[in-house]
Structure 1
Amino acid sequence: METIWTPSPNFDQRKLPVTILVMHYTGMKDAASAINWLANPDAKVSAHYVVTEDGQIVQMVNEENRAWHAGRGYWRGIEDVNSASIGIEIVNPGHEWGYVPFPEEQMDSVTRLASEIVGRHNIAKSNIIGHSDLAPARKQDPGELFDWGRLARHGLALERPTKNLFDPIWTDGGFMLALERFGYDITAKKDAVVAFQRRFRQENIDGIIDGETRAILLSLMLDRERGITK
């Protein structure tokens, strides 16, 4: 894919192989502000790629290097998520500046870029996650308007379970144990539930452990145990 190279000085050496792809939104007023900030050495943040509203892809850090996009976080036993991941920043004002749906041209580029990254690094679709998944207490992005379903249809994310769902009637404690086993940091319990819902039940992210939330997690766990997903 054609990209514009706008280098960021904010990177260092990886300590782990790439096994995770993280989706972000920029959470800034416009693309220029986001790119300028990610290229600013004082910012101490960066990403491998930025995708603008019209679908233009800007590369800021080589994939072989460790960009500083994830911050403090955890996913499936990995605490240094930056070392194990590639980060895509998707231009969107986010919840602070007026969260809006992601345009078709933008999602098309995100999908094609993700496909290329996954192909290069053999990333499992269960490890294609949002920033909020790895840092539930701190982050909301890419948020409930992000089209995970589109990525799932291309084999680039886990699908939301919709068929043959049933409530296992776990206690709240049992649900949290299952959520931790699935991969989330559950230190901030409600935040972890909200992050899970933001990813897998986007129309209702109330943080309540209800029957539908339990049923969705159970289905995902069963698929994993059957080897349908990793």
Structure 2
Amino acid sequence: MTSESSNSKSMDVVVAETNADSTEPSVKEPYVSLVFESVDEAYWFYNSYALNIGFGIKKGSTSKSFSSGDVIARRFECNKSGLKTSKVGEGSSTRAHRLTRVNCKAKLDIRKNKDDKWVVTGFIKEHNHELDTPRKAKRHRSHNVLHKDKEVKKLMDQLYSAGMGPAKIARILNETNCNSSISANQVSVHLSEHRKNNIGNEGKHLVEHVLEIRDSNGDFKKDYYE
């Protein structure tokens, strides 16, 4: 990440220095002209900033080139942007839900330049709602993604094979990563999907194993075919 100004310099997401009254690393604030190598880098920068400040983000609108059709601009915004209208009317049995969108205008706009880098072209810092603590902010969908990581899924499988249940697996994962907030339900969903995806493979492996025994064991052939 760099700046397009004459005094451009590299900028890390997390600053090693800490405030005198805090042991948590601070996260740099986005600014116009900040440059990223890719859309993903911009997304994770803004998401890290959002976690530190106390809100979640979502992907917003995009703009495409008329000539090529490629995306040339993208917006990331507070997950409380826009408005959600309630359809609960008089005499309706539908329960009213807490409003999660309050038309917040906080956002980060990026655009691809001639060097195929992504430059911040707009940044609104202010929110029209209360912000969460970093601990509560971890519950937002944009921050609660660790359970989808391949290595974490592999660890879930290993812990389950060792005889641990979903609740204990979730507790271990959360204790070993202070920035994670994995629920027992998320672990259960993964384990269920893993077992479902492996049903066909398990049957295939069993058939292959039986065929190997048949081909290498004359007695097996005799007993099986006679």
| TM-score, structure 2 normalization | 0.29
Choose 1 or 2 for highest CA Rg. Answer: 2
| TM-score, structure 1 normalization | 0.29
